[in-house]
Amino acid sequence: MVVYVLAAVSAVGVVLLASRLVRGTPDPDPDGPTVGHTGSMVSALFLLAFAIAIVVPWTTIDAARQNTYAESQAVAEAYWSAALLPSPVRERTQMGLRDYVELVRGQEWDLMADGRLSGEGWARLERMRREVTALRAEEDEAREHRTAVLDHIREISAARRQRAMDAATAPPPGLLVITVLTGLVVVFLPFLSGARPRGMTLVPLTLMSALLAIGIYLVFDISQVFSGALAVQPDAFTGVLPELRRISAGG
C-alpha cells in the first residue's frame, strides 16, 4: 500500500514540475485540451478497472460452481462404491456421506459466505477414510472395492480444498479502491475543471452518476463467491441427495 501511495505522490510531483518547466499556451477553459485529455484517460482507467473487477469474480464464481458439481458427483461415486463394501462398514460409510452432504448444504454453506469452511466437514471425511482403510480385505475384489471408495474420498477432499480456496478468494483491495476513485473522478471532473452544469445539463450527469453507483455496488456485491447477487448456491449438493436415496433403494 505504501508503494501505491508513493507512486501517486510521484506522479503528482511530475505534473507540478512539468507545469513549471514546460512553456506553452495557457489552458484555463473547462472544455480545453487538458481537461479533454484528462477526462478520456480517467474514463479509460475506470473502464479498465471496472472490467477487471467484474470479469475476474465472474470467472471465479463460474469455476467454483462447476467445482461444487464435481464434488457432489464424487460423493455419488463414493456412495456407489461403498455399496459393495461388507457390512457394517457399508452402512456407516453411506450414512457418513449423506451426513456430509447435509452438513455442506446447510451449516457449512452459511459459513462460506464469510470465507471459511467448517472443521466438522474435514473431520467426517477423515473418519470415513480411516474406517475404510482399516477394513480387512482378503480377496482381490474386496481390495478393489476398498481402493475405489478411498479414491473417491480423495476426490471429495480435493474438491473440498478447492472450495475452501474459492470461498476465501476476493479481488485485490487496491483494484476496488481504484474503481471507486476513478468513478468519483469521472463524476466530479466537470466541477473540478471549472464547469458549473445547470438546468437540463444536470440530467445526463445525474443519470451517469446513478449508473456508475450501481456498477460500483455490483463490483462489491459479486466480489465474494458464496455471497451476493451471483453467489454459488448449494444446488449440486441438494440435487445429489435424491440420487443417494435411489442408490440406497437399489435403483
pLDDT in tens, 20-72: 545 555 545 555 565 666 768 888 888 888 898 899 889 999 999 999 999 99
- Indicate whether 200 pLDDT > 70: yes
Q: How far is CA 19 from the centre of its chain?
A: 44
Give burial (CB, 10 Å; 0-12/13-18/19+) of 68: buried
Angle at which helices 140-168 and 33-82 pack, to 10 degrees?
Answer: 160
Confidence category of residue 6, pLDDT binned at 50, 70, 90: low
Mean per-residue pLDDT, 89-104: 94
Instruction: Tell me the per-residue pLDDT of 121-162, one tens digit each, with 9 for 90 and over.
Output: 999 999 999 999 988 877 778 789 899 999 999 999 999 999
Question: Are the beta carbons of 146 and 131 closer than 8 angstroms?
Answer: no
Give which of 234, 103, 229, 115 is closest to 165, Cα–Cα.
115
Question: Which triple of cell numbers denotes residue 112?
Answer: 462460506
Give which of 89, 242, 87, 88 is closest to 153, Cα–Cα.
89
Question: pLDDT at position 183, please?
Answer: 87
Question: pLDDT at position 238, please?
Answer: 94
Question: Which triple of cell numbers denotes residue 135?
Answer: 477394513
Question: pLDDT at position 2, please?
Answer: 59
Mean per-residue pLDDT, 94-98: 95
Q: Per mean pLDDT, which range of 39-43, 101-105, 180-184, 227-231 is the poorest?
A: 39-43
Cβ atoms within 10 Å, residue 220: 15
Mean per-residue pLDDT, 208-228: 89
Q: What is the 3-class SS of 49-101, one letter each residue?
A: HHHHHHHHHHHHHHHHHHHHHHHHHHHHHHHHHHCCCCCCHHHHHHHHHHHHH
Question: pLDDT at position 19, please?
Answer: 47
Instruction: Tell me the per-residue pLDDT of 105-121, one tens digit each, with 9 for 90 and over.
Output: 999 999 998 889 999 99
**What's 232's DSSP letter?**
P
List Cα–Cα distances, 245 to 40, 98, 104, 249, in angstroms.
60, 9, 17, 6
Contacts of 77 (CB under 8 A, 6+ apart): 152, 155
Question: pLDDT at position 175, please?
Answer: 86
Question: pLDDT at position 28, please?
Answer: 57
Peptide bond into 88 cis (omega under 30): yes
Q: What is the mean pLDDT of the chain?
A: 84
Q: What is the percentage of the chain residues whose pLDDT exceeds 70?
A: 84
- pTM for the model: 0.80
Question: pLDDT at position 240, please?
Answer: 94
Q: What is the percentage of the chain residues whose pLDDT exceeds 90?
A: 42
